[in-house]
Amino acid sequence: MRRRVLLLAFVLVVPIVCAAADPSQEVWDVLTQVASALSARNSQAVLAAFDPAMPGYDRLRDSVSALLRDSDVQSGVELESDEGNGEERTEELDWLLTIRAEGDATASTRREQRVKCTLRKSGKKWLIVAFEPMEFLAPPKK
């Protein structure tokens, strides 16, 4: 009898524990996907992580599109701080971009900056609702 009770308790508890998502990891996955999409020159994948209703989205969309249209980008990101809950999180990141103008193998621009972003859960998906400084994803000035 005791074995059945323990087994039943195990069967009831394990799915609950496994189903519980880690918001920090989910948000980190979104941010690393943005960094990867930048390196892959995939503006659609970059922009899919951002909430189109966020302030400055149109400017961000234009900047990312121009950056990836005219340049090869290498992107890396490191987490500096992570705060929040299962609905909204604020992240501080050390983000590095190396931007090389297409067709120019010798000249490159290196940007390393502390980036702050806020992500909010929308349904089952996390979206970036604030990103500072937005100019970080702009193409280099010519």
Task: Tell whether the model's pLDDT for residue 12 goes beyond 60.
Answer: no
Per-residue model confidence (pLDDT) at position 14: 45
Domains of the chain (ranges; CATH) run: 22-137 (3.10.450.50)
* Helix extents (H) in the chain: 2-19, 23-39, 43-48, 57-70
Q: Over the stretch 25-70, which tens digit does the pLDDT of each residue have?
A: 999 999 999 999 999 999 999 999 999 999 999 999 999 999 999 8
Residue indicated by tokens 């609702």? 129
> Above 70 in pLDDT, residue 114?
yes
At 102 the three-state DSSP class reads coil
**Phi and psi, residue 71, nearest 5°:** -140, 155
Length of the chain: 142
- The edge-to-edge listing of strands for the beta sheet with 88-101 is 71-84, 88-101, 108-122, 125-132
The pTM assigned to this predicted structure is 0.83
pLDDT in tens, 60-110: 999 999 999 989 999 999 999 999 999 999 999 999 999 998 877 678 899
CA distances from 129 to 40, 42, 50, 112, 121 (A): 23, 20, 6, 22, 10
